[in-house]
Amino acid sequence: MKVVIQRVSQASITTNKRVINKIEEGFMILVGFHKDDTLDDINYLVNKIIKLRIFSDEQNKLNKSILDIKGSILSISQFTLYANTTSGNRPSFIDALNYKKAQEFYDLFNMKLNQSVPTFSGVFGADMQISLINDGPVTIIIDSKE
């Protein structure tokens, strides 16, 4: 399982010319599932995300978590995080989890995040337009297998 976490001052998801979810201060997360992922990967990343200290404290040090600032999460499914580009110019996605199981994992991941932090999602499998203001910028990539 792989996540790209961006610290944002605001972010939104639009599909069919309609904003479906938006947040203010918090994380915009792109999440991809590998074909070998298990519930342990979900639990590991949920715990890591909610405790990740990448918000500034009073001394301007990255010392606060999303829990500390009472932020929100905008979570977007992104199977292309597992694109393999080693052969040719057209990416292969054979390492990505199959559609049905990835949707189940995505829903579970968001539900577990939402137990600690208000979490809003995109539309699984839809064509979405993402707008965000990356605050910092701060972008962190975490792979549950590393």
Positions annotated as catalytic residues are: 78-80
DSSP designation for 103: H
- Phi and psi for 61 in degrees, rounded to 5? -100, 145
3-state helix, strand, coil in the chain (%, to 5): 25, 40, 35
Tokens of 27: 């994380």
